[in-house]
Amino acid sequence: MDEYDVETVADPDLTDPVLVEGLPGVGHVGKLAAEHLLEELESELVRKVYSTHFPPQVSIDEGRAELAAAEFYAVTPEDGRDMLVLSGNHQAQDTEGHYGLTDTFLDVADEFGVEEVFALGGVPTGELIEEYDVLGATTTDEFAETLTDAGVEFRDDEPAGGIVGVSGLLLGLGKRRGFPAACLMGETSGYLVDPKSAQAVLEVLQTVVGFEVDFATLEERADEMEEVVRKIQEMEQQNAPSPSDEDLRYIG
């Protein structure tokens, strides 16, 4: 197997598509958002990307094995621009792999004529969120203006630690290769899988890209998570030993 191996599953024509990336990360915000898009809108699997930098692992679904991969889906909604949605269960296992996979993802974006890149993710605040702001970072001033108009906040030196992994490199390598790219980061506690943060990110994306999706299933999932939080808070009030931050991380 090659270090980076792109399998062509289908080859539809897309018109001036945007790339929407949602791989696993803080609060699983990006992944939840990308998966919600794929559930709510008609989509077609077009590429699978295998790599020796992914975990040496197969996932099992009803007894059938699937090699670790990232997947590209073509989404052509009635309203709004065509989308190439990048989703999956894995990040690269090492530094070199992050760079090489992101370059491979941008090669696929090139093939489909992608004009703008949106990396979706979460930004951890360390506390439970009341109002879900979406923080932005871009490679161009123009892109920043469009996003500001859509309600995205840009703050000096935030996130303080920069953006790590594929989302960050889609901006860093994207800029060097001439893709206007933006990262949309939903605020999230960082302790829980956060469907509300994913919804906040998707609402921005809707405005900017022009599609419309129903949020009912995401809201249901959010209600379930709130139930979890409520129970934890009750336990705390009863002076029962509370689960540690570590235990809370990514309950869902």
Q: Which residues bind its own copies (CB under 8 A)?
A: 1, 50, 52-68, 92-96, 98-100, 102-103, 136-139, 141, 144, 154-159, 162-166, 168-169, 171-173, 175-176, 181, 183
Minimal distance in Å, beta carbon 161 to its own copies?
8
- CB-nearer residue toward its own copies: 60 or 216: 60
Closest CA to 72 of 167, 25, 8, 151: 8
- CB-nearer residue toward its own copies: 10 or 58: 58
Minimal distance in Å, beta carbon 15 to its own copies?
27
Rounded to the nearest angstrom, the gap between the alpha carbon of residue 63 and the centroid of all alpha carbons in its chain is 28
Minimal distance in Å, beta carbon 109 to its own copies?
15
DSSP category for residue 27: G
- CB-nearer residue toward its own copies: 140 or 242: 140
Listed in sequence order, the residues at least 6 apart from 90 whose beta carbon sits closer than 8 Å to its beta carbon are 23, 24, 54, 55, 68, 69, 70
Listed in sequence order, the residues at least 6 apart from 172 whose beta carbon sits closer than 8 Å to its beta carbon are none
- CB-nearer residue toward its own copies: 103 or 111: 103
- Whose tokens are 């935030």? That residue is 158
- CB-nearer residue toward its own copies: 74 or 106: 106
State how far the Cα of 109 lies from the Cα of 113, in Å rounded to an integer.
Answer: 6
Minimal distance in Å, beta carbon 214 to its own copies?
26
Minimal distance in Å, beta carbon 213 to its own copies?
26
State how far the Cα of 86 lies from the Cα of 210, in Å rounded to an integer.
Answer: 18
State how far the Cα of 199 lies from the Cα of 193, in Å rounded to an integer.
Answer: 12
- CB-nearer residue toward its own copies: 135 or 200: 135
State how far the Cα of 95 lies from the Cα of 230, in Å rounded to an integer.
Answer: 39
DSSP category for residue 63: T
Minimal distance in Å, beta carbon 40 to its own copies?
23
